[in-house]
Amino acid sequence: MTIESKPKDYSKQNRIKIHQPDASKADRFDPSNSIYVRAVDGLWTRVRRRMGWISMLFFLILPWIPWGDRQAVWFNLAEQKFHVFGLTIWPQDLTLLAALFMIAAFGLFFVTTYLGRVWCGYTCPQTVWTFIFIWFEEKIEGARNKRIKLDQMPWSFDKLWRKTAKHTAWVLVALLTAMTFVSYFVPTREVYIDVFTLNADGSIYFWVIFFTLATYGNAGWMREIMCIHMCPYARFQAAMFDKNTYIVGYDTKRGETRGPRSRKADPKEMGLGDCIDCDLCVQVCPTGIDIRNGLQYECINCGACIDACDNTMERMGYDKGLISYTTENKLDNVQEKVLRPKLVGYGVVLTVMILLFVYASATIAPVRMDVIRDRNALYRENSRGEIENTFTIKILNKTEYQHDYKLSVDGLDDAKWIGPDNVSIAAGEVLTLPISVAVDPVVLKRSVTNINIVVETEINGEKVITTQETRFFGE
């Protein structure tokens, strides 16, 4: 399977360089050229718009959902705790976070192998925010042709207020985005109250301003530059595609030879295909490509060109589907295969990793203990003639409530615990406790004895016992 990196036609209709009279010389690989995306309506546009609003609302609302005395999702970097509803991930459990990223990666690989770049076209934040910014652009500056004329005309009051209103809307959306993103790391109410009352920490202002500028730049100015020149996903997608992957494809056999004609004309008598060469598929493309030139890595599978072409086919009285979600095998009249080794492999790995993640999440220990021996002396003989070993015990309460803990030693007959054996630890706190274990030397049968330090507590009515093995040295 091949992906053309530079199609033959440079999509002159959608990419126009301001102050360049000859638009035929425009190059869509030149970042200085501007894309004026034409509005389109259709099935896939409505699906993408609704998914975009769902993603946006989910992103905005999630930090406001309460969970006990905190917000449901809170990545508390200061205390090194990641809260996701009832699950709290500590630094000791960061393997879970790594596993979550791996699940997301393999999920992306699986979906891409089967459905192509639907992530890019429907749920990627860059795409969602870009279309939101384009919506404001259309409402304030007008349709595509009006925006082109507005940019080419000299400055006037009309142009000034429209540009000012557009960029103000962009900045407000970017600011809301930035504050919401920061709210995942700093309590939401603190962010909104402290920022607007000028009582926030300097670092909060820095990150709010940084992400505001990043959102404003990415969705307002860079747009397709991010997808074409900066996003690595566009480059390595070819490793996941095969001839059975669903792509946005143009039916060359049906569409060629393309050319304009009236609605009443018979294309067969004129020696033409169904494509009337209206270029609407190019004008609605957010990355400025011509899908009729074949599969290109810049295509984000958003389906805008499908809706534009279907609308044209409907007006002409032709069958829809000249451009559609299809596969290379289907375009070549070759039997499609849904189940193939690569797809099954990704699916198996993804399923196994999800099951392991669920099991590991459900079995996170609420208590963690570390036992460190005194490195200055293996043992000593105390005033009572007993052999004594010294340890430092660290106990971490990984729950969100204070609990009492009982400490003891197991594996050594008649051992004496020297130090506190009942302690109380606050939520999220680490208790460092030096203790000693002493025993009559007569009891020792060998110079090194394996023992267990035991910590008992009760959490939600259930007894929780945590043990840590160590060694007791004697004569």
> What pLDDT, in 10s, does the model give residues 117-150?
999 999 999 999 999 999 999 999 999 999 999 9
Residue 429: the pLDDT is 86
Using the predicted structure, report yes or no on whether residue 13 has a pLDDT greater than 90.
no
Do residues 43 and 164 both lie within one domain?
Answer: yes
- CA dist 270 and 200 (Å) reads 71
> Has residue 157 been placed in a domain?
yes
> Looking at 284, 305, 331, which one is the last position of a domain?
331
Q: Which residue has the higher pLDDT, 282 or 14?
A: 282
Q: Which residue has the higher pLDDT, 234 or 74?
A: 74
Domain that holds residue 408: 367-473
Number of domains in the chain: 3
> Has residue 353 been placed in a domain?
no
Cβ-count burial of 76 within 10 angstroms (0-12 exposed, 13-18 middle, 19+ buried)? middle
- CA dist 400 and 331 (Å) reads 57
The pLDDT tens digits of the residues spanning 410-450 come to: 988 889 999 999 999 988 888 999 999 999 988 888 889 99
Using the predicted structure, report yes or no on whether residue 371 has a pLDDT greater than 70.
yes
CATH number reported for the structural domain that contains residue 382 in this entry: 2.60.40.10
* % of the chain surpassing 70 pLDDT: 93
Q: In which band, very low, low, confident or very high, does the pLDDT at 10 lie, cut at 50, 70 and 90?
A: very low
Do residues 301 and 392 both lie within one domain?
Answer: no
Q: In which band, very low, low, confident or very high, does the pLDDT at 47 lie, cut at 50, 70 and 90?
A: very high
Q: Which residue has the higher pLDDT, 462 or 50?
A: 50
The pLDDT tens digits of the residues spanning 241-268 come to: 899 999 999 999 999 999 999 999 999 9
Q: How many CB atoms lie within 10 A of CB 34?
A: 18
Do residues 69 and 207 both lie within one domain?
Answer: yes
- CA dist 322 and 254 (Å) reads 7
> Has residue 349 been placed in a domain?
no
Q: In which band, very low, low, confident or very high, does the pLDDT at 221 lie, cut at 50, 70 and 90?
A: very high
> Has residue 273 been placed in a domain?
yes
Do residues 230 and 264 both lie within one domain?
Answer: no
Using the predicted structure, report yes or no on whether residue 188 has a pLDDT greater than 50.
yes
Helix (H) or strand (E) holding 37: none
Q: Which residue has the higher pLDDT, 327 or 17?
A: 327
Where does 292-340 have alpha helices with state H?
304-316, 328-331
> Has residue 114 been placed in a domain?
yes
Do residues 304 and 212 both lie within one domain?
Answer: no
Do residues 69 and 190 both lie within one domain?
Answer: yes
Q: In which band, very low, low, confident or very high, does the pLDDT at 67 lie, cut at 50, 70 and 90?
A: confident
Instruction: Taking the CA atoms of 299, 300, 306 and 307 in sequence, report the sign of the dihedral they define.
Output: negative
Q: In which band, very low, low, confident or very high, does the pLDDT at 27 lie, cut at 50, 70 and 90?
A: low
Q: Which of 347, 459, 447 is nearest to 403 (CA)?
A: 459
Per-residue pLDDT, averaged over 346-365, amounts to 89
Q: In which band, very low, low, confident or very high, does the pLDDT at 5 lie, cut at 50, 70 and 90?
A: very low
Long-range contacts of 358-364, Cβ-Cβ distance < 8 Å, separation of 24 or more: 360/95, 360/96, 360/99, 361/87, 361/96, 364/87, 364/89, 364/93, 364/96, 364/398
Residue 326: the pLDDT is 94
Average pLDDT score over the chain: 88
Do residues 295 and 254 both lie within one domain?
Answer: yes
Q: Which residue has the higher pLDDT, 361 or 344?
A: 344
